[in-house]
Structure 1
Amino acid sequence: MNKQQLATKIWESANKMRSKIEANEYKDYILGFIFYKYLSDKQLKFLKENSLTQEEIEALVEDDAETVKYVREHVGYFIAYKDLFSTWLKMGKEFDVSNVTDALSAFNRLINPSHKKVFEGIFNTLQTGLSKLGDSSGSRTKAISDLIHLIKDIPMDGKQDYDILGFIYEYLIGMFAANAGKKAGEFYTPHEVSLLMSEIVTGFLKDRTEIKIYDPTSGSGSLMINIGRTVAKHIDDENNIKYYAQELKQNTYNLTRMNLVMRGILPDNIVTRNADTLEDDWPYFDEANPVETYNPLYVDAVVSNPPYSQNWDPSNKETDPRYARFGLAPKTKADYAFLLHDLFHLKPDGIMTIVLPNGVLYRGGEEGGIRRNLIEGNHIDAIIGLPANIFFGTGIPTNIMVLKQKRANTDVLIVDASKGFIKVGKNNNLRASDIKKIVDAVTARIDIEKFSRKVSREEIRRNEYNLSIPRYVDSTEGAENWDIYASMFGGIPMSEIAALSEYWSAFPELKESLFTKGVGPYVELAVDNIEQTVDEHPTVKAFISNFMGAFGDFDGFLKSELITNMASLNISKEEVVLSDDIFARLAYIPLINKYEAYQLLDDEWAITSVDLEVIQTEGFNAVKKVDPNMVVKKKDGKEEEVQDGWIGHIIPFELVQRTLLSAEYEALKQKEGRLAEISSEYEEILDSLSEEEKNSSVTNDSGDAFVAKEVGDKLKEIYADVNTQEIKALNAYAALSRKADKLAFISAHDDVVWSNMEAGNDGTYSKKAVNAYLAELQSAFEFPEEFFEAKILKVSNLITEEKEVKAQVKADAAALHMKTKETIESLSDEQALELLEQKWIFPLAESIKQLPNAVINVLVEKIKALSEKYVVTYSAIESEIQETESTLSALIDELVGNEYDMKGLSEFQTLLKGE
């Protein structure tokens, strides 16, 4: 399994295991055990690398002072052999919850003093919460045993595995957050928001050799880690990144430390604190050594997603250096208290990003004063309005504020990114293209219509320091206008044609080919086939030709980057290389949205990057491997994981079948197509039945499918009722018993084709032969096509055919499946490379090359909409109404009736004439 499949499997199983335990609590158990496994595996790896034999490892005990000291000094802690995660797995039925409690207690005792701040109390949440995993020791033991077996396959013993472990850990945190409701905000910033903040910060810091990052409300630590991972793409030595984290809640604080440690970050680069950020600012020194540890903590980047609008105590904080310059936030809304705290800890050349509710942009009172001081102090660099419903547990609109201590410019970039998202379940998610567009706008500080604008300090002053985003950026779609004249008399307003100016600029003379001058400022459509006219226009053809020219060698470029260099390319940096190339090719191509192209790249890169990780980790032969396809099935009321065939380790089975086994694949598809046709034929017959026929026994209770057994029984009844002259004669013959009578009957009845039966030695026909021929005659009887009997006969034939084809499909699919497995396992290097090209390069290249067609299709639809908008005028409708009224009035003149009928008709005529 790749990391996504493994993460999904663990989540699905864990979610079932947690039963009635809240997701917010259960995460502490599973994540805690993953961390303990990580520490155990890390120590085992260290011991093996230092030449300890398995026998020596199994002899590790706490009483061995010399070995304990050695391990603690090099690893930071010591775990006895009996307490190792791998030992728990080997214990089988001997494993007990007490093994866990004893091990966690021992861990706290055996932390190296130099690592106390990183590890001390890190398992407290897990240790104190074990009682919730069951009502008895036995039930707790089973719950824990299930958990540790669930996570045993997570790899943790190599550099590449840190990425897999980190991915799974992040994935589980995100999934638990999605199920934790309002409590999710306590420990999780959505991954997409985290990436957005990471890219903004990295764009500012990428040229530095050493970086300090601080998150004062760290939660699970994922936000800070994402910043570090993104910065690491641009820095020579990622060990030059130092992480500072502060978190109020003990269990969440433990998540921060676990997450940081498991990413392979050196303990010396992890500085954490469990305290109230607003009440207990970062310590200036260690009380045990105040002189040498004095550190006011000024960092290169501060990132935070603090709790929104919570209460705090501003009492006696007027002189607090964090707030003295700007003012105190109101006690019912601590938003600006967090912001000012972050700003205080920023170096003069640093950058900070903070997520806050939109109220901070326009609320008055103390907050209005703070906002004024921040603007006049020139600290607010950018404001990014996010889509609503983007955070778990709250649907309120939020924004990211970007601030700096010192800035060269004095304006504020306002970005309204609230419209760019994709709906996923109940939440809105930023797409990769949305993030890219925002980051580009913020990094380059560019104005984009209906998206971003640099706003001068003078304009902000005129608005009394109100930073409400709609005041400066209008991202709303304009309401559709209707031209009064065109609505009455027809024609297309030239003003609405002009709204498509970007197309007319890109396609000179196309407008003149589509429209002719009409009355005044109106035009008329000049062609019958809009699509054909646009497609065949020379400027449109030139546009497509230019695009194809720009991407003519794109396949070759991708092949060089991804195939030729697959073993050595830097996966974390490669997407930037590819996107830069795509953007460069699009630089002089009008109309194409480069962010749509970027999204196509990102969608494919999500697949390709995982494959590349596997190949770089396992070697090229991973391409030629298959894995058991494990599925969960119910057996005897219990769910169990069983193998259901095979799947390609990297290469999908269907890709191999379409390319290397095409004959078998197409033959199977044809049979599957026939099954689909049979299904359609069933539906057609059902639709043709009367309600009475549909309610008969041949259909199921809902009347939407045939019942095979009942169709067979009905067919027997139908055949039994068939009675031709030949059938009557045969039945009469069957009633005879004497040989002489039978021979006489045969001679007298030429209405029976006796040669269709085999006669006995005495010239007569047996009962068996007669009955067989009777059945043959009945089944050969042809009913008129529209008769119920004909339809049932057709259904019966379809049922027989369907059964045969299904059996063939099952057998052929099984044979093709095994042949595919054998084909993958015996691939030549050339075939493997060709398949990788088919998987990685062709889909991206083809989707990119469809972009011009999409642009042209949009233009055609816009022109069609304009032509249809005013095609039916009010004048024409009014004229048609008058004509209809006149015709109806004339018809009334011809009607006759009694006195009251005629009075009624006369009044109706008066109304029709508008009198």
Structure 2
Amino acid sequence: MNKQQLATKIWESANQMRSKIEANEYKDYILGFIFYKYLSDKEEQWLVSRGFDHESIKSYVNEEADDRYSSKSSAQQNLGYFIAYKDLFSTWIHMGSDFTVDNVRTGLSSFNRLISSSHKKVFEGIFNTLETGLSKLGENTKSQTKAVSDLIHLIDEIPMNGKQDYDVLGFIYEYLISNFAANAGKKAGEFYTPHEVSLLMSEIIADHLKGRNEIKIYDPTSGSGSLLINIGKTTAKYMQDANRIRYYAQELKVNTYNLTRMNLVMRGILPDNIVTRNGDTLEEDWPYFDENDPQGTYDPLYVDAVVSNPPYSQRWDPAGKENDARYSRYGVAPKSKADYAFLLHDLYHLQPDGIMTIVLPHGVLFRGGEEGQIRKNLIEQNNIDAIIGLPANIFFGTGIPTIIMVLRQKRENSDVLIIDASKGFAKVGKNNALRASDIRKIVDTVRERKNVEKYSRVVSLEEIRANDYNLNIPRYVDSSEETEGYDIYASMFGGVPENELKQFDKFWKVFPALKNELFDGNGSYSQLRTKDVVKTIQNNKDVNSFRKAFEGVFADFEEYMDHTLIDSAETLAIPKTEEAIAANIFERFSSISLLDPYEAYEIFATQFSDIAGDLEVIQTEGMKAVKQVDPNMIVKKKNGVNTEVQDGWKGHVLPFDLVQRTYMADQLNSMKKKQEQLDAIPSSYEELLEALSEEDKENISDALNDTNDAFVFKNIKAVVKVLKDDAISNRNLIESLQKAERLNTEEKRLKTEVKQDEDRLHLETKELMEKLSDDQVRYLLHEKWVKTIKDGILSLDSEMLTQFSKAIEILGSKYAITMNDLEKEIAETEKSLAEMLGDLTGSETDMEGIRELQLLLGGA
């Protein structure tokens, strides 16, 4: 299974295992075991690279072995830690029924004792949360052992024995953290920044850092470390050597601090490039130094980039902070809200040419008092580069709308870019999430400092001063929907006002002949001249020229994609290729108006996430992986225990249905016809039952169920035999029952044949996939990767024209019925009603009331 499938399986199993344990707690246990497996497997790989085999590892990898064979000191020197054979994760797995939770306690305790002195900051105490939490996994040793055993056997499925597996491991780790955050309520904000927000901040920072050979990045409220990791990963796309990125992190909560360290180490980051601290960022600032060597290790910490998602509007103690170098230039944040304290902390640690991004609540843009003064100083000292308004309900644990503020120490310009990105998101479960296109649009807008109507504006320092340094986004960018208005003249006399047709000016510019084909007008008001708006638009020569031009722009796109993706699948750099294709798509759209290139990018980005997974498999296992077929394993409950069993086969890379549609269409069509016949039989049963009277149903009650809405087929023969005694009067009933019986026979036959056909096709597909030629592999990858993207992009003009047609139809009908028409219709209705009232009879009082109502309606 690919990394997404494996991550989903592990999450579902882990979520079941945790039972009544809070998600926020359980995450520390499963993620701790994943990290222990990572370190254990890494040591084994290192031992094998030094000539050890399984037997020699078993014999000599322990603390007591002779120095001649001992690997302890060598492992400590090279890896920073040592795990004896008896404490290896793989040893636990192979112990079977001899394994107990005490093996884990011993292993974790030994690990902490055997850390190299040079790696204490990276590894010391990293398993404390897991070690103290073992007792919560069960009421006694037996139940704890079962819980731990189930958990480590689940984790054992994560591969960690190759270069590509760093990505798999990292993906699964991030996936688990994300899902635990979704289930952790308000506590989620303590350890997780949504991946999409993290990517957005990373892309902004990485673009600024392009071209640098060495980079220092810092997160003073690091949580799980995902922000730092994404910045490193994104920045590495533009560097020759990713090992020249140094990571600094500080976190207050011990268990979350451990997550930071685990996450950084597991991404293959060199321990020497990881500098972490467990402490209160606002109280215990760098300069950092090791107590054992304060002079030699002194580091005031100025970095190229700072990224942070601090706790929102947290209380803090500002007493005595007036002379703190972090705050003295700008002011001290109020004790009720530490937002600006975190911001100024971040800004202080920036190099002169550095950049920072920070997530904050909207209040920092307009609140007065001490915060207003700090904001004024930041603006006047030219530190605020951009403000990005995010959608509401985008963070786990809080629904408040937030912003990302981008700041620099030195800038060439003095204006501020303000972006209202609050409308761009997709609904994902209970939360909103930024789409790939939303992230791309924001990053492009920041990089190019673009003015986009109802989205972004570059605001001058003079305008901000005139607004008393209030940076509230709606003051500068109005993203609200325009309210619909009604033209009084058109409402009375009909016609479409010219000023309402102006909203389509961009269409009239591209389709110059279309307006006159749709409307007749006198300059101020026009009449819709066609009854079929859709047909008129589709047949317009300018529209068809536009569509042909759009198709022409993408005429060679499939060839380009085949060459870029398929021909180089085994060797290409996945992130760089993704960016190259994205740039190619945007370049093609440079000559196309009316269509949004970001919609095309969303189609590409959504599909490329699957393509990237396939490419990872191909680059790890070779092109032969495309022909590979794997057992399809599913979980079934047997005797109250979840057991994994095989249910057929599935493609390692290619889905069975793609191969079937491409090369087995005849078999599919034959199965489809039989399935359609099978699906129609229940309706035939219903027709037979509906044709029976209640008396008929009573006469054949033994052939029907208790509610008389289904046949009981096993009884039909006996009922027919009884009915045949009076065949003349019961002939129709006999025929109905016999028809139902024939339908049932046909239904059974079709079910059997469809199942046999499905099984046969399934096995034939397996055999065909394993024998695919190289040309067939290439064609199938084209269909899966390329054609889907091309078809999606080329559908954008149809979708645009459909929306345009609907808008014209709505506008045409808006004034089709005038107030005069409505008045006439009301008068006619009242007259008709008055006349009908005249036909009524009743008591004298009733008739007197009716006559009065007639007078009100205008009747005689």
Q: CA–CA distance in 2 between the matches of 1:446 and 1:129?
A: 51
What is the distance in 2 between the residues matched to 1:897 and 1:162? 89
Alignment correspondent of 1:459: 463
Aligned-partner SS, 1:516: strand
Distance 1:651 1:467 in 2: 52
Instruction: Quote the Cα distance in structure 2 between the aligned partners of 1:355 and 1:31.
Output: 26
- Determine whether 1:326 maps to 2:330: yes
- SS in structure 2 opposite 1:150? helix
Query: 2:60 aligned with 1:62, yes or no?
Result: no
The 3 A distance-change label for structure 1 pair 328 and 706 is: same
Residue 820 (structure 2) pairs with residue 875 (structure 1):
yes
Deviation at 1:492, TM superposition (A): 1.2
Deviations, residues 573-628 of structure 1 (Å, cap 9, x unaligned): 21111111111111011111101000000111011110010000011110111111
1:643 paired with 2:627, answer no
Cα distance in 2 for partners of 1:693, 1:444 equals: 80
CA deviation string 1:164-214 (max 9, x = no partner): 110011111111111111111110000000001011111111121111100
Cα deviation, residue 680, structure 1 = 4.5
Amino acid at match of 1:45: Q
Residues 1:177 and 2:122 are matched in the alignment: no
Give the drift of 1:798. Answer: 3.3
Residue in structure 1 matching 2:308, options 304, 307, 311? 304
Q: Using the alignment, how far apart are the partners of 1:87 and 1:604 within structure 2? A: 41
1:858 corresponding residue in structure 2: 803
- Matched AA of 2:762: H
Answer whether contact 1:698 1:706 (CA < 8 A) is retained.
Answer: no
Residue aligned with 1:511, SS: helix
Query: Residues 425-473 of structure 1: CA distance to partner in whole angstroms, max 9, x if unpaired?
Result: 1100111111111111111110111111111111111211111111111
Provide the secondary structure at the position in 2 that maps to 1:605. helix
Measure the CA separation in 2 of the matches of 1:608 and 1:254. 33
- Alignment CA distance shift 1:853-1:686 (3 Å): farther
Match for 1:528 among 531, 537, 547?
531
Distance in 2 (CA, whole Å) between partners of 1:422 and 1:625 is: 35
Cα 1:700–1:230 change in 2 (3 A) is farther
The structure-2 alpha-carbon separation of the partners of 1:584 and 1:116, relative to structure 1 and needing over 3 Å to count, comes to same
Equivalenced residues, count: 854
Choose 690-699 or 336-345, whichever is displaced more.
690-699
In structure 1, what residue type is equivalent to 2:828? E
How many Å apart are 1:892 and its aligned residue? 5.3
Provide the residue aligned with 2:541 in structure 1.
538
Shift of 1:708: 4.1
Task: Tell me the SS of whatever aligns to 1:244.
Answer: strand
Q: 8 Å contact 1:343–1:352 — kept in the other structure?
A: yes
Which of 270, 280, 298 in structure 2 is aligned with 1:294? 298
Using the alignment, how far apart are the partners of 2:837 and 2:74 within structure 1? 111
Deviations 1:268-326, CA, capped at 9 Å, x for gaps:
10000011100000234333223332211000000000111111110111000000011
Q: Distance in 1 between matches of 2:444 and 2:410?
A: 21
Alignment-derived partner of residue 823 in structure 1: 768
Aligned position for 1:44: 44
* Alpha-carbon shift at residue 155 of structure 1 (Å): 1.2
1:729-752, Cα deviation, whole Å (9 max, x unpaired): xxxxxxxxxxxxxxxxxxxxxxxx
Q: Shift of the alpha carbon at 1:49? A: 0.6
Q: Contact 2:23 / 2:183 at 8 angstroms: preserved in 1?
A: yes
Contact 2:702–2:715 at 8 Å: present in 1 too? Answer: no
| Corresponding residue SS for 2:71 | helix
State percent identity of aligned pairs.
60
- Distance change in 2, residues 1:249/1:665 (3 Å): same
The 3-state SS of whatever aligns with 1:63 is coil
With 484-493 and 612-621 compared, the bigger mean Cα shift is at 484-493
Equivalent residue number for residue 72 of structure 1: 76
- CA-CA distance at 1:820 after TM superposition: 0.8
Give the whole-Å Cα distance in 2 for the aligned partners of 1:380 and 1:902.
Answer: 80
Residue 804 of structure 1 pairs with residue 805 of structure 2: no
Instruction: Pick the structure with greater CA Rg.
Output: 1
Question: Any idea what SS the aligned residue of 1:807 has?
Answer: helix
Aligned to 1:136, which of 140, 144, 148?
Answer: 140
CA contact (8 A) 2:702 2:719 kept: no
- Tell me the secondary structure at the aligned position of residue 628 of structure 1: strand
User: How far apart are the structure 1 equivalents of 2:692 and 2:438?
Assistant: 53
AA of the residue aligned to 1:821: K
Q: Is the 8 A contact 2:87 2:104 kept in 1?
A: yes
Q: Residue 178 of structure 2 contacts residue 192 of structure 2 at CA under 8 Å; is this kept in 1?
A: yes
Question: What one-letter code is carried by the residue in structure 1 that aligns with 2:629?
Answer: V
Cα distance in 2 between the residues matched to 1:374 and 1:681: 77
Equivalent residue in structure 1 for 2:722, among 698, 720, 723: 720
| Counterpart amino acid of residue 184 in structure 2 | A
Distance 1:685 1:508 in 2: 60
More off after superposition, 875-884 vs 692-701: 692-701
Distance 2:696 2:445 in 1: 67
Change in CA separation of 1:876 and 1:625 when aligned onto 2, cut-off 3 Å: same
In the alignment, which of 835, 848, 851 is matched to residue 780 of structure 2? 835
Q: What is the aligned partner in structure 1 of residue 411 from structure 2?
A: 407
Q: Which residue identity does 2:749 align to in structure 1?
A: E
Alpha-carbon distance between aligned partners in 1 of 2:691 and 2:483, rounded to the nearest angstrom: 47
Residue identity opposite 1:61 in structure 2: N
| 1:894–1:108 distance in 2 versus 1, CA, 3 Å | closer
**Aligned position for 2:576:** 573
Q: What is the Cα deviation at residue 689 of structure 1?
A: 7.7
For the residues of structure 1 that align with 2:212 and 2:507, how far apart are their CA atoms? Answer: 44
The equivalent of 2:636 in structure 1 is 633
The answer for the alignment partner of 2:171 in structure 1 is: 167
CA root-mean-square deviation? 2.2
Q: Residues 503-550 of structure 1: CA distance to partner in whole angstroms, max 9, x if unpaired?
A: 1111112101110015x7210011122111111111001100100110
Partner of 2:680: 677
- The residue type paired with residue 563 of structure 2 is S
- Aligned to 2:346, the other structure's residue is in SS state helix
For 1:215 and 1:136, the matched residues in 2 are separated by: 40
Are 1:378 and 1:410, in contact at CA under 8 Å, matched by a contact in 2?
yes
User: Which residue of 1 is the match for residue 479 of structure 2?
Assistant: 475
Q: 1:289 to 1:864 in 2, by over 3 A?
A: same
- CA 180–509 in structure 1, closer or farther in 2 if over 3 Å, else same: same
1:726-875 equivalences under 5 Å are 727=727, 781-782=731-732, 795-875=740-820
Cα deviation digits, residues 227-280 of structure 1 (max 9, x gap) = 100001111100010000000111111110000000000011000001110000
Per the TM alignment, residue 851 of structure 1 is displaced from its structure 2 partner at its CA by 1.1
Assess, with a 3 A threshold, how the Cα gap between structure 1 residues 483 and 297 changes in structure 2: closer, same or farther: same
List runs of 5+ in structure 1 lacking aligned partners: 729-776, 784-788
- The SS at the match of 1:500 is helix
Contact 1:712/1:796 (8 A) holds in 2 = no
Structure 1 residue aligned with 2:370, among 352, 366, 384? 366
How many angstroms apart in 2 are the aligned matches of 1:323 and 1:652?
Answer: 58
Q: Secondary structure at the match of 1:155?
A: coil
Alignment of 1:122-271 (within 5 A): 122-271=126-275
Quick one: which of 609, 618, 621 aligns to 2:621?
618
Once the two structures are TM-superposed, the CA of residue 901 in structure 1 deviates from its matched residue by 5.0
In structure 2, runs of 5+ residues without a counterpart are none
How far apart in 1 are the matches of 2:564 and 2:197?
29
Q: TM-score, normalised by structure 1?
A: 0.90
Q: Aligned-pair distance for 1:334?
A: 0.7
The alpha-carbon distance between structure 1 residues 698 and 721, as it changes in their structure 2 partners (threshold 3 A), is: closer
Aligned partners of 1:415 and 1:452 also within 8 Å: yes
Specify the SS of the correspondent of 1:348: strand
2:780 corresponds to which letter in structure 1? L
Q: What is aligned with 1:104? A: 108
The structural deviation recorded for 1:67 is 2.5
Residue in 1 aligned with 2:32? 32
SS in 2 for 1:841: helix
Cα offset, 1:848, TM superposition = 1.0
Once the two structures are overlaid, the 10-residue window that deviates more, 281-290 or 595-604, is: 281-290
Please give the alpha-carbon distance, in whole angstroms, between the structure 2 residues aligned to 1:400 and 1:680: 58
